[in-house]
Amino acid sequence: MSDIETVLGETIRASFANQGAMTLIKATVPIVEAGRAEIHLDHWAGIEQQHGFIHGGVVGMIADSAAGYAAMTVVPSGASVLTVEYKMNFVAPANGEKLLARGRVVRPGRTLIVTQAEVFALRDGKEILCALMQQTIMVMHGKPEK
């Protein structure tokens, strides 16, 4: 990991730690690189839906966040990011010991950034695609992340 990526990682982990909702579901953000971020989430009872899989809303939360953090890595210092909109497709139940949400910047722009994310369930050592997302992020210049 380069120095820049270390700084990115620190800024993003500090932002993450300030998000009550990410703490509530027990998500972590172990991977942050230029244009990419990854959120991990262990499976526990508190985030399940009625069939014992991880709730689709929680899958959406970590996909949205992973792609938003990916966007945060490409904006200038002094700017922050805001989700304008996203679209999620669910392709398999979130059935595994752990979820991995991988966000990446597809096209950075001065005002808008387009990203994609994929969410995988880790089950018996295999990664199974559960959801994919396409998202628009707005850059808030002159409004740094708190």
The site for a copy of itself (CB under 8 A) is made up of 15, 18-25, 45-51, 54-58, 60-62, 64-65, 82-92, 106-107, 109, 111-112, 114, 116, 129, 132-134, 136, 138, 145-146
Closer of 2 and 89 to a copy of itself (Cβ): 89
- SS3 (DSSP) at 46: helix
Closer of 1 and 23 to a copy of itself (Cβ): 23
CB of 51: closest distance to a copy of itself in angstroms? Answer: 6
Q: Is the Cβ–Cβ distance between 31 and 39 less than 8 Å?
A: no
**Which three-class secondary structure string do you get for 2-37?**
CHHHHHHHHHHHHHHHCCHHHHHHCEEEEEEECCEE
Closer of 31 and 105 to a copy of itself (Cβ): 105
CB of 6: closest distance to a copy of itself in angstroms? Answer: 20
Determine the Cα–Cα distance for residues 66 and 73; give it in Å rounded to an integer.
11
Q: Distance from CA of residue 17 to its chain's centroid? A: 14
CB of 123: closest distance to a copy of itself in angstroms? Answer: 16
